[in-house]
Amino acid sequence: MLNLTIGSNDQPISLQIDTGSSDLWVINANNSWCSETSQGKGLYSTEKGNLDSGDFEDESYDEDHDCSLYGTFDPTDSDTWRATPGSFSTIYGDRTGANGSWGQDTVTIQGVEIKDVYIAQSDEADEIFGVLGIGYRNNEATNFTTATESAFTYDNLPITMKNQGLIYKNTYSIYLDEASDIDSAILLFGAIDHDKYTGDLGLLPIATNSIELDVFLNGIYMSDGDSNVTIATGSVRTLLDTGTSLTLLPSDVLEAILDQIGASTSNDDSGLALYTAKCSSLKDQTFTFDFMGYELTVPVSGFVTEKSGKTCTLGFRSSDGLGIDYVFGDSFLSNVYFVADLDDNEIAIGVANTESTTEDLEAISDIIPSATQAPEYSSTQDASGLKLETGSITISVHKAVKSSGAVANVKPNLANSLICSIVLMASLVLLI
């Protein structure tokens, strides 16, 4: 969560950072979902018609929805709030969403003001916190027409920061550290931290015409230290999404991975599948993900989201029926460091330095520093999907990239640039 304040009276708000969406929306103080009692309503119906139309279904719940935990916004208390035309409606892959209206106000992050930021204030939602979407302009909720309103786009928060001279480019970098504990995660607007990765950064193009952070995945391999096993190969768009906690894969690919790990399947209280394994069995196992010829090797143990005694819960879920096959959420992203350049449509990615204790910051004023194009950067990808390897064929044709631990000592160039280092649920450090 990112801590900031909104309005002339600095109303404190904590927002979920989401690379898979593009709107900043907050919970209005009068949101129907918020209550100090055990009643709440505002859940999106699971009927497809209602999902498409944005209608809400009235339901009651035996739980508290205390929106004060993350803060609510009252536009009537801000002298700088300016309502703008248009209604707001958004829905996410987990069928949560929000409705409301638009306006502009000042957003303040650690004393630095960003003026005239487009903000949606939600008076109907089924979450107790809002979202800071930092994706493409074309993925803004306003860009999707409704029966009564025309589509339009606007300058979201990162673009506004660039326009006001706070950062050189619409870029940011993300370091999540651990899937089971994102309290130490760091987001940098307009900068890179060379101490947060090991080895080389691979530079990938964002898929043409994509409105999200889609890159091409060409293979998944596993190793137990003695042999390498091919799980699947081919070409498929893969979404890098901090707004998704788990890594979503088609069931056949997921089952092949679970078989290789030796994982067991059970269900949680809500009926969703849980995948567990003996923690000791994960010690020597690794994944290698092939992104356009750039091979990134990370430990299977890095996908653990919870430990209970000697049992580890793995951060995977089937994507069947969701409308998108490959979503690499926090359980994957916690193993990597990645930099998004939305001006030049590129992603730089590398193995996270989980032992980082310092900073080596550099403002991004041109290309992403210290990143090398993937071997197949310029190749045409057919995005036909990954083909599952059949049988128990052990191969050694791919070369797993090992982390060297060597990071170029690049001196930061911070002149005329605002670098926002966001420690989740803690303080925000700004270097100007």
Q: How far is it, in rounded angstroms, from Cα 208 to Cα 119? A: 28
How far is CA 103 from each of CA 25, 118, 272, rounded to the nearest angstrom? Answer: 10, 6, 38
Mean pLDDT by runs of 10 across the 432 residues of the chain is 93 94 94 59 38 36 71 96 93 83 93 94 89 96 81 95 96 81 75 96 96 96 92 95 94 95 88 92 95 97 93 95 92 97 98 92 96 94 76 36 32 40 36 35
* pLDDT at position 318: 95
Residue 138, classified by CB atoms within 10 Å of its CB into exposed (0-12), middle (13-18) or buried (19+), is: middle
Query: Which amino acid is it at 213?
Result: L
CA distance linking residue 272 with residue 70, whole number of Å = 27
- DSSP-derived secondary structure for 260-319: HHT-EEEE-TTS-EEEEEEGGGGTT-EEEEEETTEEEEEEGGGGEEEEETTEEEE-EEE-
| 71: three-class secondary structure by DSSP | coil
Cross-sheet strand order for the sheet of 311-314: 264-267, 273-278, 311-314, 304-308
SS3 for 341-390, per residue?
ECCCCEEEEEEECCCCCCCCEEECCCCCCCEEECCCCCCCCCCCEEEECC
Tell me the whole-structure pTM to 2 decimals: 0.85
Supply the DSSP symbol for 179: T
Region of residue 333 (left: phi > 0; alpha: psi -120 to 50; beta: else): alpha
> What structural domains and CATH numbers belong to the chain?
2-166 (2.40.70.10), 195-359+370-409 (2.40.70.10)
Residues 6+ apart with CB under 8 A from 409: 194, 360
CB of 99 closer than 8 Å to CB of 124: yes
Phi, psi of 159 (to 5 degrees): -65, -40
Per-residue pLDDT at 52: 32
Neighbouring residues of 134: CB distance < 8 A, sequence distance ≥ 6: 17, 18, 19, 22, 156, 157, 158, 172
Q: Catalytic residue numbers? A: 18, 241
3-class secondary structure, 405: coil
Contact 111, 145 (CB under 8 A): no
Residue with tokens 């609510």: 72
Which are the contacts of 421, defined by CB distance < 8 A and separation ≥ 6? 186, 187, 188, 193, 359, 361, 428, 429, 430, 431
Cα(167)–Cα(154) distance, integer angstroms: 18
Q: Is 95 helix (H, G, I), strand (E, B) or coil?
A: coil
